[in-house]
A and B are shown apart, each in its own frame.
Chain A
Amino acid sequence: MEHWLQAYELVVNPYVLLVMVCSAAFGLFVGAVPGLTATMATALLVPVTFFMDPIPAIAAIATCTAMAIFAGDIPGALLRIPGTPASAAYVDEAYTLTRKGQAERALGTGLICSMLGGLFGSIVLATSAPALAEFALNFSTFEFFWLACLGLTCAVIISSESRVKGLVSLFLGLFISTIGMGVVTGFPRFTFGITDLMGGVSFIPAMIGMFAISEVLRFAVRTKPMPKVEQKPFGSLFAGIKGTLGRYKFNLLRGSIIGTVIGILPGAGGDIAAWVSYATSKRFSKEPEKFGTGHVEGLVDCSSANNAALGGTWIPAMVFGIPGDSITAIVIGVLYMKDMNPGPTVFIERPHMVNAVFLAFFLANLMMLPLGFLAIRLSRQILRIAHAALMPTILMFCIVGSFAINNTTFDVIIMLVLGVFAYIMEENGFPIAPVILGIVLGVMVEDNFITSMIKSEGSFLAFFERPIAGVLGVATFLVWTVPLATTLRRRMKASRSTT
């Protein structure tokens, strides 16, 4: 209880609240502008949070992402362009509602369900993370090694259609993580005499490059013009919302649960949660034929799922230091910089800080109602803002943001190189999320592996000797081998049936 009171003091003060409101406005704006993603919002926000205390910094990121994911619904419903990838699953449904003259119904339902889903995710985060942390206190380098491997495995499997391409992304991320002076080995690797690379590739400029510069490049070569919004005033946003929620309360709960669970899986966040819950909703609906014709049922599932996923992604991030998606990968980078290293010990040593993070999550989701309402009201103005002026502004912001971390122009070069790299990769179907996870987890995998090897005097069997480590190790192997074996068997069967 005393920790919660301390946490309350940390969060509920004018400075933190002001930071949260500002980052909420920023998140709503970035989310609502097509082509700017929630991850990009986080990447752009981080250089500013770099100069704050840990709690306002984390509160800012949590608020900004929650808002951006909701705001992605706005251009989805009005223009049929998802504002963030998390809204992509249901843009058609929402846009059809708008065409039927029910834009307010689509957006109102989206807002309420986003908030409720977000609150559900926050509750699961606040209740399960401390319990998991207590369990994880017994973990040693062996368990953490396997957890990181399992996390990377999930990232590859979930994030891409082509497993080989996902793996390439992962290995490239791991390679980037080996650049610089190794922690255990203390030898400068792949630095080629460049002193700026001694400390490794700076994380934040790398993020900004991959998530923002690549987006600016994509805008520069965009050949299709942006569609225009119809200027028609909204009716009441929440008319009939009670009936909708009452009718689809089960969908709301199901969406929230699916969202949270998918969020917990490393490598998957709100976008995949929305796709899965839309499919589930259609599969189990009493009226599946209405899906795609402007039916609100799917919206309830998805809007709650993508916001619930947010809380879910923070669970492995805070307890194990394993990111649930690319946004939490950035968060983990920030936590390290703020000297609040994620892992079970932070729950014991600084419980008030952890509780403050949970509290910030609740507040952010509660704030969503009034601020989201405002954003919907202002949406037509937001969507009219010219990309011609916005994109160069973002570019300049990226430059200054990258420079600000170490005050060196070298970081701008890193941002530029990785931005072009990410652009080419995405154009050719290589996912970006595994690269980020590789960069964040690479150091953890290597350190835990080398330390474990020194402890066990070079015996690889030690990785399976402790019970939990053994289970995790076997699980990792199974995740890799089972799909491989089934594909092989299917191929063999197919070739036998053709001969």
Chain B
Amino acid sequence: MRFNDAVFGVIIVVFATAMMIFAETTFPGLPGQDYGPAFFPVGIGGGLFLCGVALIFQGIAKRKEAPLAQLGDWVVSPRHLINFVLVLGSLVFYVLASDFLGFIPTSLLILTVLMYRFGCRPLVAVGMAVAVTFVIHSAFYFALRVPLPWGLLQPVAW
């Protein structure tokens, strides 16, 4: 998914302006110092602002060969669009559901769906999902002692 440089330029200019105003108005100064917590963020914002302006000019200069937005092949292919949404969706799903469901059910679900979606046969997808979940869980929970959540499986935790 490609955008004209000017699109990024505008976003960056807006972001930089907001950032500078926020830093300048809400960060306190150090007593007796000219250089407080706001100094660097404002400097970075200033730099970003200039870059944004430069990108706007570059984008306008190249407007003939670079349209405002150029969608990749995959955006018009529903199959790939669903893949993209599924990968992001599974991350969001993990964040929202892992505490309640527990690591093992969440991981099984995500892995099975994604593997099947990417082209594994259903049985292979389930088998691989079980194997991978088991290996990751053992490695991180038991060997590295990372407290992965048990969730629903708490009563049968091993």
- Shortest C-beta distance, A378 to chain B (Å), equals 20
Give every chain A residue within 8 A of B2 (Cβ-Cβ): 427-428
Interface residues of A in 406-448 (CB under 8 A from B): 407, 409, 412-413, 415-416, 419-420, 424, 427-428, 430, 446
**How many contacts A-B (CB < 8 Å)?**
155
Pair B54/A164 contact, Cβ less than 8 Å: yes
B94's partner among A182, A388, A412 (CB-CB below 8 A) is A412
Interface residues of A in 166-222 (CB under 8 A from B): 167-168, 171-172, 174-175, 178, 182, 185, 187, 189-190, 213, 216-217, 220-222
**Which of A223, A399, A446 has the most B CB atoms < 10 Å from its CB?**
A399
B65 within 8 A of partner (CB): no
Pair A396/B133 contact, Cβ less than 8 Å: yes
A51 within 8 A of partner (CB): yes
- Shortest C-beta distance, A175 to chain B (Å), equals 5
Q: A189-B37, A387-B118, A388-B119 are in contact. Are A220 and B84 (CB under 8 A)?
A: yes
B27 within 8 A of partner (CB): yes
- Shortest C-beta distance, A213 to chain B (Å), equals 8
- Shortest C-beta distance, A38 to chain B (Å), equals 22
Pair A397/B136 contact, Cβ less than 8 Å: yes
Closest to B53 in A: A164
B80 within 8 A of partner (CB): yes
Give every chain B residue within 8 A of A386 (Cβ-Cβ): 119-120
Interface string of A12-39 (1 = CB under 8 A from B): 0000000000000000000000000000
Give every chain B residue within 8 A of A51 (Cβ-Cβ): 144-145
A409–B93 Cα gap in the complex (Å)?
11
Pair B80/A396 contact, Cβ less than 8 Å: no
A400's partner among B19, B47, B55, B136 (CB-CB below 8 A) is B136
Q: How large is the interface on B (under 10, 10 to 19, 20 to 34, 35 or more residues)?
A: 35 or more
Pair A428/B8 contact, Cβ less than 8 Å: yes
Give every chain A residue within 8 A of B23 (Cβ-Cβ): 189
Pair B144/A409 contact, Cβ less than 8 Å: no
Pair B84/A221 contact, Cβ less than 8 Å: yes
Pair B74/A223 contact, Cβ less than 8 Å: yes
Give every chain A residue within 8 A of B51 (Cβ-Cβ): 164, 167-168, 171
A391 within 8 A of partner (CB): yes
Q: A400-B140, A403-B146, A409-B95 are in contact. Are A223 and B80 (CB under 8 A)?
A: yes
- Which one of A290-298, A369-377, A450-458 contacts B? A450-458
Pair B3/A392 contact, Cβ less than 8 Å: no
Give every chain A residue within 8 A of B44 (Cβ-Cβ): 171, 174-175, 178
A437–B56 Cα gap in the complex (Å)?
25
B110 within 8 A of partner (CB): yes
Give every chain B residue within 8 A of A488 (Cβ-Cβ): none
Pair B95/A413 contact, Cβ less than 8 Å: yes
Q: How large is the interface on A (under 10, 10 to 19, 20 to 34, 35 or more residues)?
A: 35 or more
A6 within 8 A of partner (CB): no
A340 within 8 A of partner (CB): no
Pair B146/A175 contact, Cβ less than 8 Å: no
B41 within 8 A of partner (CB): yes
A393 within 8 A of partner (CB): yes
- Shortest C-beta distance, A222 to chain B (Å), equals 8
Q: A51-B144, A189-B41, A424-B1 are in contact. Are A396 and B95 (CB under 8 A)?
A: no
Closest to B54 in A: A164
B14 within 8 A of partner (CB): no
A494 within 8 A of partner (CB): no
Pair B111/A392 contact, Cβ less than 8 Å: yes
Pair B87/A220 contact, Cβ less than 8 Å: yes
- Shortest C-beta distance, A319 to chain B (Å), equals 25
Give every chain A residue within 8 A of B54 (Cβ-Cβ): 164
Interface string of B37-79 (1 = CB under 8 A from A): 1011100110110011011001000000000000011100100
- Shortest C-beta distance, A18 to chain B (Å), equals 13
Residues of A within 8 A of B (CB): 48, 51, 162, 164-165, 167-168, 171-172, 174-175, 178, 182, 185, 187, 189-190, 213, 216-217, 220-223, 386-389, 391-393, 395-397, 399-400, 403-404, 407, 409, 412-413, 415-416, 419-420, 424, 427-428, 430, 446, 449-450, 453-454, 458
Can you report 17 A-B residue pairs in the complex whose CB atoms are below 8 A from each other?
Answer: A168-B8, A189-B41, A190-B41, A220-B83, A221-B81, A222-B80, A388-B115, A389-B124, A389-B128, A392-B115, A395-B91, A399-B94, A400-B140, A400-B148, A404-B140, A416-B88, A446-B40
